Structure 1
Amino acid sequence: MHPELTSLARIQPGNQSKEEIKSERMYINCKSWFSLRYGTYSIEDLVGTAKKQGIQQLALTDINSTSHTWDFVDACQQQQIKPIAGAEIQNQRQHLYILLARNGSGFLAINQFITKHLQRQQSFPVRPVFTDDVFIIYPWDTIGVAELQANEFIGVQYTELHLLYKTDITTYGNRLVMRHPVTFQDSNHYYLHCLLRAINANVVISKLQQQDVAGKHETFLAPEELGILYQQHQQLIHNANALLDACSIELDFKQDKTRQVYNNNRSADKQLLEKLALEGLANRYGKDHEAATERVYKELEIIDKQGFNAYFLITWDIIQFARRRHFFFVGRGSGANSIVAFCLGITDVDPLELDLYFERFLNPARKVPPDFDIDFSWADRDEIFQYVFERYGSDHVSLLGAYTTFQKKAAIRELGKVFGLPKSEIDAIERLGYAAKEDAIHRKINYYASLMQDFPNHLSIHAGGILISDAPIHTYTVTELPPKGFATSQVDMFVAEKIGLFKLDLLSQRGLGHIKDAVELIRQNKGARIDIHDIEKFKHDKQVAERMRTADTIGCFYVESPGMRQLLQKLECRDYITLVAASSIIRPGVAQSGMMRQYIYRYRRPDQFEYLHPILKELLHETFGIMVYQEDVMKVAHYFAGLDMADADILRRAMNGKYRGQKHFEDIRNRFFLNCRQLGHNDQIALEVWRQMESFAGFSFSKAHSASFAVESYQSLYLKTYYPAEFMVAVINNFGGFYSRELYFHELKRTGVKVLPPCVNEGQELTSISGNIVHVGFIHVEGLEDAVLKTVLEERSRHGSYLHLQDFIERTHIPLEQLNLLIRTGALGFTGKNKKELLWEANFLQKKNARHVPAFHSLFDEPPMEFKLPQLHQHPHDDALDELELLGFPLGNVWPLADADLSKYCTAKDLPALKGSNVSTIGYFVTDKHARTIKKESMYFGTFLDKKGEWLDTVHFPQSFTPHLSPFQGKGFYELQGKVTEEFGVYSIEVTRCSKIGLKTSSGSPVAYSAR
């Protein structure tokens, strides 16, 4: 028996005073809302309520989870409550036992135990085996009292006390403990708990079973109330208290728990990092660059003092692996402020060129270390993850977890299903708040949807965070195994950061897939080898600059959206520095504040504005007095308002919402204005400076981040400029970017290549290019089965091209429905017969099961069966309609399909001459963007192609369309009427009327647009 629990054996029922019982203020079985779709307490509310009740010891036992133990420990310590770590173990709806960690070793054992069973998707054992570092508390009537080991107990709820008559209290009383579960706050939250259980079970509330829900009594009770309820069995209260006395959980929150060494020791890490940095210095700058050399040594000193040698080396190691595997990557974020990162090849952003200061990335005032953001192609990242797990040990590595939360609309939908409402009625409640205010169910749905807003819903995976811990990862967290296939922590980024476990971001994006595949296609199709990292060459290429100025950027990373294309034209962007700025000011916070428009104005008219203050002119002359970057905010806070760099950094982090609303943030705000007055700044100027800083909240980029994006944009622009066809095929094969695949095929056709349908003899699963010929990939054929495609391609690979239709049928044994699909797509056009002829023959051959020996099985070239058919004509219009149905877009010119007289409409090129006039035009829908006016009304921006294939931009104010309805009804043709407007050289139409136009059939009658 544990020394701490020897008192349990000595205590007999009834020999405690009321004062002693009153002092035993504890709970051993509390759940938070991280018992997902079960508990209703947040961590803060749980601990806060315990404090009000005078609780002195508290155990958090979430169901099969320890995800927020450290938040709980921190909250308890702030409230002077002793925290106990544990978990409640359940198999689906069956409560098995409670596990309490006696110490850190016990918490590690609990995490390993839960991890093992969750990852293997095994049921938890009815009776687990643990060392004395873990206490196990079983529910009543599951394990015989006489069978219990020294670390095992039975928990008795007050609703079960009447059953104790069967137990020998004198002999076994010290093995029984009071268990009063805490799950929800009150009866109102009990009903919310029931709703959550119904959502979890995917049943209507009336079908919820009693065993699915907790007992109605599972709320906090005052210790005095529990004393009364257990007055005949006071020893159970004392036993529970003694059990918690024996437990403890401790953690130094300030200590960095990320892997501390790359080699065997810190000294070796320091030497290696310096060696690599100096080698990179010579490669990047040459041997005699004084400023770069001085900066490298300065950074190395700070990196070493801050204990970040290993972090840099681990990142460098991952990059080296990527290079060996010929993976493309981009190092971005604040790490690009570091010249050491530049010299190590982690980033391609030169911090000297852009005057990026290292302190933005790492400085002694930072309480939270920064992290590198490394982007890899979506197709390569899993292999990078695998390398990290193998290289640094699966016991020390996990992906970072994240929790999706219930938001109001999603909660309404879930609750609507729980109450059995039809979808149309749920849609009405979601859209209007109430479909019928007098309806009690509707009111209930709205009320409980608001109540459960921000409740965690399920564990997900952080976009790219990976944890590499110094101690075994289960020292801190359970790890689960989601479909991704990599162990993922139950702690999220906020908990990980709180305890000093800092992530490395290994992110995924399709833009790098475009670049990687384009380089390979260029090598295969043109025989050219591209050094995609020769960024300086790309920056100074005049043709690339002209493509950027004219915004001919479809498919190019970060510069292809309608808003970005317009911005490039308004800035007449021709150079790297301007593109870096554009990458930042396009962000919503800047645009909505009006600063984007102000920046464009000042950029185009640099002599026609005044700086808000002379200090701002000195600090912000490069950006014309506009705070474009996060670094600008820090500089202004420090040099204009006199805040120290630590507070300036907190202010910068507040832009991401991490401190907003917290007292520290308000203190900094107050100090900002106080300092401004003491420094003699005008109150109105100080207010305007603050307003500009605030407008960046949640949206701003660091300058290094924008520069990293601009580097990748230049890589895409270079490829699109000199190898446009191969580049667009790569974009299509990586499943595009901002736009639909139809637009990317439109852009591909503009390069001059001949785009043909999928072909069973020439085509591949993905779109392929050979010389000037492109075959659409079979992956784009709607309804084509994977097994059929695999058979077609494998049979062709083994035995050569198909000779004719009959040969194709006999070699593939393709079902008639799938065969007809391929014929209608044009995949058997190599036969020289039109679709109608092929469909007739296919139907005959399949139904008659005509006997014929395939050519590769025969000694002789046996001719196919011949058919005498009437003349069957295939109209090109019918081909286009087939393509619309099966591919989602026509391969030829789409405009003959429009049921309209195209000659009466103006084009995009006509707009400059028609500025201020009312016009009528026709556009082929590309995309739209929803926005809100100052009055919070809906408005839209539209993007179309005109009849010449040029861009047509539209603005749709609220008065131009029916409220609550979009002016757009999917893809197709639209007649647009409105006034031509111009802003900074970019023309658009303020639409007053927008109506959809149908499609012509081959007979000339209109049909509905049914393409995907």
Structure 2
Amino acid sequence: MKILGPVVTSKSIGKSYLQLRDLFPIAKRYGFNCIVLSEPHPRSWVSFIAHAQKYRIKPIILYETVDGKYLLQTNNDIRSAIMHYNGLGNNLRLKKIEMDLPYVKYPTGVLKDIFKDEESLCIKDGLKYQNELSIFSNIATYYNIRNYRFDEYKVTDYNLTDIVSQKDLTFEEKRRLSYELEIIKKLGVKNYILTVKKVVDTAKKNGISVGPGRGSAVGSFLVYKLGITKVNPIEYDLLFERFLNEYRHELPDIDLDIDAEKRVDLIKALQKEVGEYKISQIRTYSTMKIKSALKKTEELLGYNLEAKINAPIRSKENIDKFKSLSKKDKTFFYVAYYLEGIEVAESVHAAGLIISQNDLRTFSPIEEKETPRRGFKEVPIIEWEMSDLKYLGVEKFDILALDTLTFLKKLQIEEKYRELSDSKTFHYLSKGLTKGIFQLDSKLGQKLTQRIKPKDFEELILLLAINRPGPLESGMIDQYVNEDSPEYLKKIFPETKGVLIYQEQIMKIAQILGGFSPQESDLLRKAVSKKEKDKITTFKTKFITNASKKIGEKEATLLFSQIENFAQYAFNKSHAVAYAHITYWLSEKKFKDPSHFFLEYVKIKGIDIDIINEASLLGVKIKLPDIRYPFGLASKTDLIMPLYIIKGIGKNISQIFEEAKLSSLEDFFNFIINKNINRNIVELIIKSGALDYFNNNRKNLLRETTQRMKGKVQQLEDIKSTLFGEREQKSTKKVETTLQDYAQYEIESIGFPLSLMSQKGLSNTLIDKYLNRQKVYLDGYVYRDFIVDNSAMIYSRVYNKNLKRLIKHI
């Protein structure tokens, strides 16, 4: 038996360059049939065992402590070591191994030599230590990661069947619920769904906003009736099979959107109900990507790669290219190959939570931290990645922090699921006024909105589904706008004019024309989206045979080809329906109360040209900050920006001035001197126009600030004047602030020359250019990168080609 060890993996960040994915294939190549892992943490253990099973190499794990190395032979040993690691016990009743050998830390000798590490080994070097490692020859290990698991959290206070007996259900709803319940029971996922309900109920109990739903779960009527999602799937013809399918053999996936400011509060509330150590976050790692790997290799070798390689480095395309590289480039590629993917920092899964029936510290390695806030504990983190937990059969619950829900709360928007048909909302949305609108706040979103011009909620759903580069390139949008689909498809899918846009449509058409069962139709959807050729061939024969009887063989063949082509661009309608509600709520609020909408948006995102112009078009004038309203102010026609919109000024400064309640310029100067506020901050406040209400001669104010803030230096000058008769020469000449000064100051302090938009006699035509990119004639200002009139502000470098008669130049 050839034994390799002791091995340290790259999960010991900064101490090894040996990734598990390289360890086993290289060890196999050199004939090793046993690997000894020796680390002071359990982070690698699950993946190590899984890889060992895959490559049929005997795994041996040593757990290192300050007292020595301990042998783990069984699942129970692993559990004992983990509890010790988590501080639940000091006595390890495990066999101690006496071994003093150099560690294997490199995949190859090339990498080891480049790092000039004489104390460590590469995999091949392990062949030299077979005598010393012979102590492991007769050691047997019995690791079974499939049997290493904790009990999932059990919900016992709710029975799913109670929901079917509700009196207000229609016959169709009862039938749908019974069908869904049957599948849920058959797949054994009842407890998973009820645990998600527990999370949602806890959020509601604590006043924490939960989104209307996301993903395929919105297609379940039962999930809707449980209050997990808020959109009735029957009303939108959403398919349960897209969510759960008895032939798919996959657990359901119910993701939750939570108010971003309250996610931690929700987890803390769950801990109180479930147990502090029964909930944890999940470890992830930041890894070295292609750019970092190439840069690091360049640093190590002292030269750059001449050949061009694409990401990822380990792609087949690059491997094929390797043979034709020069010797120098081969070395470079070789090093970068082994560096790509190396763990460089620990992180936490953005959404995933584990919820257990048992104390997680008895099952998995846990990291606990305390924040600087008086011993406030952060949520524990399982130090195994999601891939490790999947090996163990552990399911996570995804709770995502969604900023838009926080925005909705600040706007005091009331959720509604009826009467989503305000004509004003769709009128302005169709013009492309998508700034701050969920899922459409991008140049592509604006462009597609102007192209589709949604007239109702159904078209808004469609708009969200196609708001991706893929559909734009596929011709799907042209087909929709030009209504080019066959008549039989228009009859089946009138809401999309016969265009296949949603994944659910592929399923529905397979059922209507192809004679597929609902479950089979989902398997077809999955096969074509993942391009599984063998499965597609089987489905294709059945589809064309059955569909030919209804639309003819030529059309049936053409339609299946279309399904194959469009499947990669098709979108989950359930997800689009749920998110379209948020889009609509924000749009309606924006066009009914634009000043309030933009004030809250500016507080979160800051100011930009799109906000200035869209507000102008909606009859709201964006005004400069005002010291009297440090957090801004919104009226029907005006929006005063908050102080912290000024560069270099934070919310803490705004808070200080909020408490000041200034009523005069004298108050202001006394206050800043008393509070010892930095002179640079004071100058930025003046330049931004925040003191214009008291005195709009900003240039003179800047000079006066210099005089007033001299402090003790000024007192010494006064003493000198009294004692020696020396008088400081002071300028009494008053300076005026020109329009150019205003523009310059505002660009310096807030980024945009807003005062230029307030001058009399300018045209109001520039907004047409902003919206439609058409030629316009205007009377306005050109200053630096900006072209300005009373209606809008645009960047000259983008639009200058089509502008005529720019008569005012600063």
* Cα distance, 1:474–1:701 mapped onto 2, change above 3 Å: farther
Other-structure match for 1:469: 356
Unaligned runs of 5+ in 1: 1-23, 91-95, 118-127, 135-150, 160-180, 195-207, 520-529, 603-607, 853-866, 926-943, 953-970, 979-993, 1005-1012
Residue 707 (structure 1) shift: 0.6
Give yes or no for the alignment of 1:762 onto 2:656: no
Q: Do the aligned partners of residues 73 and 320 (structure 1) sit closer, same or farther apart at CA in structure 2, a change above 3 Å counting?
A: same
1:668 aligned residue: 535
Aligned AA (1:575): D
Residues 1:111 and 1:890: Cα distance change in structure 2 (over 3 Å): farther
Question: How do 1:861-872 residues align onto structure 2 when only pairs under 5 Å count?
Answer: 869-872=732-735
Q: Tell me by how many angstroms 1:743 deviates.
A: 2.5
Who is 1:722 aligned against?
Answer: 592
Between the aligned partners of 2:781 and 2:149, the Cα distance in structure 1 is: 56
Q: Residue deviations 1:148-186, cap 9 Å, x none?
A: xxx3221133x7xxxxxxxxxxxxxxxxxxxxx443332
Counterpart mapping for 1:593-604 below 5 A: 593-602=474-483
CA distance in 1, matches of 2:437, 2:602: 12
Cα distance between partner residues in 1 of 2:18 and 2:513: 44
Give the alignment of 1:357-436 within 5 angstroms. 357-418=239-300
Equivalent in the alignment of 2:96: 152
The match for 2:204 is 323
Secondary structure, in 3 states, of the residue corresponding to 1:29?
strand
Q: Which residue of 2 aligns with 1:354?
A: 236
- 1:828 pairs with 2:691: yes
1:550-581 Cα offsets, whole Å, 9 max, x none, are 33332111123232233233333112222212
Structure-2 residue corresponding to 1:966: none
1:706 aligns with 2:568: no
Q: Distance in 2 between matches of 1:62 and 1:924?
A: 68
- Aligned residue for 1:829, secondary structure, equals coil
Which AA in structure 1 matches 2:74? N
Q: Is this contact kept in 1: 2:69–2:96, CA < 8 A?
A: no
Which residue identity does 2:365 align to in structure 1? V
Q: What is the DSSP-based 3-state SS (H/G/I as helix, E as strand, rest coil) of the residue aligned with 1:152? A: strand
* 1:908 is aligned to 2:769: yes
Match of 2:798 among 953, 974, 994: 974
Q: 1:763: Cα distance to partner?
A: 1.3
Choose which of 46, 57, 60 in structure 2 pairs with 1:70.
Answer: 46
Q: Structure 2 matches for 1:268-667, cutoff 5 A? A: 268-270=157-159, 273-275=160-162, 287=168, 289-330=170-211, 331-418=213-300, 445=332, 448-474=335-361, 477-480=364-367, 485-519=378-412, 532-537=414-419, 539-602=420-483, 608-610=484-486, 622-635=495-508, 649=522, 652=525, 665-667=532-534
| AA at the equivalent of 1:781 | I
Q: Does 1:188 align with 2:49?
A: no
Q: Deviations over 1:527-572 (max 9, x none)?
A: xxx5x222212x1323223233333332111123232233233333
Please say if residues 459 and 490 of structure 1, whose CA atoms lie closer than 8 Å, have aligned partners that are also in contact. Answer: no
Q: Distance in 1 between matches of 2:438 and 2:249?
A: 34
The number of residue pairs the alignment matches comes to 770
Mapped to 2, the partners of 1:667 and 1:841 lie a distance apart of 81
| Change beyond 3 A, Cα 1:678–1:482 | farther
- The CA deviation at 1:316 is 2.5
Q: Secondary structure at the match of 1:535?
A: coil
Letter of the structure 1 residue corresponding to residue 454 of structure 2: C
| AA of the residue aligned to 2:627 | V
Q: Indicate yes or no: 2:124 matched with 1:219.
A: yes
Quick one: distance in 2 between partners of 1:259 and 1:358?
25
Q: Which residue of 2 aligns with 1:240?
A: 136
Q: Which of residues 75, 92, 114 in structure 2 aligns to 1:131?
A: 92
Aligned pairs for 1:923-1002 (under 5 A) are 973-977=797-801
Higher mean alpha-carbon deviation, 346-355 vs 56-65, is at 56-65
Is the Cα contact below 8 Å between 1:633 and 1:693 reproduced in 2? Answer: no
2:254·2:398 contact (CA, 8 Å) conserved in 1? yes
CA deviation digits over 1:677-716, x for unaligned, max 9?
776976997587357546554x653111011111111111
Q: 1:302 to 1:806 in 2, by over 3 A?
A: same
Q: Which amino acid aligns with 1:610?
A: P
- How far off is 1:726 after superposition? 0.9
Distance in 1, matches of 2:441 and 2:650, equals 33
Between the aligned partners of 1:426 and 1:741, the Cα distance in structure 2 is: 41
Matched residues in 2 for 1:869 and 1:455: separation?
67
CA distance in 2, matches of 1:906, 1:337: 42
CA contact (8 A) 1:186 1:219 kept: yes
Partner of 2:670: 807
**Cα distance, 1:79 vs structure 2:** 4.0
Equivalent residue, structure 1, for 2:316: none
Which sits farther off after the overlay, 675-684 or 320-329? 675-684
Report the aligned-residue RMSD.
4.8
CA distance in 2: counterparts of 1:474 and 1:700, whole angstroms: 43
Residue 47 (structure 1) aligns with: 24
Report what 1:959 is aligned to.
none
Q: How much does 1:895 deviate?
A: 10
Separation of aligned partners in 1, 2:496 and 2:453: 15
- Does residue 745 of structure 2 align to residue 882 of structure 1? yes
* Letter of the structure 2 residue corresponding to residue 487 of structure 1: P
TM-score, length-normalised on structure 2?
0.80
Given that 2:286 and 2:345 are in contact with CA atoms closer than 8 Å, whether structure 1 keeps it comes out as yes
- In 2, the alpha carbon distance for the partners of 1:381 and 1:503 equals 16
- Local SS of the residue matching 1:831: coil
Tell me which residue corresponds to 1:249.
Answer: 143
Kept in 2, the 8 Å contact 1:348–1:711? The answer is: no
Asked if 1 retains the 8 angstrom alpha-carbon contact of 2:547 and 2:556, the reply is no
1:890 shift after superposition: 2.8
For the Cα contact (< 8 Å) 1:182–1:219, is it kept in 2?
A: no
Distance 1:586 1:466 in 2: 30
- Residue identity in the other structure for 2:381: T
Change (3 A) 1:561 1:749: same
Q: C-alpha displacement at 1:54, in angstroms?
A: 5.5
Matched residues in 2 for 1:752 and 1:905: separation?
Answer: 15
Residues 743, 753 of structure 2: 8 Å contact kept: yes
Distance 2:771 2:24 in 1: 68
Pairing partner for 1:777 from 642, 665, 670: 642
CA distance 1:154–1:475, change in 2 (3 Å): same
Aligned 8 A contact 2:256 2:398 in 1: yes
Partner in structure 2 of residue 747 of structure 1: 614
**1:405 touches 1:457 (CA, 8 Å); kept in 2?**
yes
Question: Matched residues in 2 for 1:290 and 1:655: separation?
Answer: 35
Residue of 26, 29, 45 corresponding to 2:6: 29
1:110 aligns with 2:81: yes
Name the amino acid aligned to 1:668: K
SS of match in other structure, 2:418: helix
1:517: Cα distance to partner? Answer: 0.7
1:684–1:301 Cα change, 3 Å: closer
Specify the SS of the correspondent of 1:874: coil
Report the more deviating stretch, 813-822 or 183-192.
183-192
After superposition, the Cα gap between the structure-2 partners of 1:881 and 1:443, relative to the gap in structure 1 and judged at 3 Å, is farther
Give me the identity figure in percent: 21
- Give the whole-Å Cα distance in 2 for the aligned partners of 1:646 and 1:70: 34
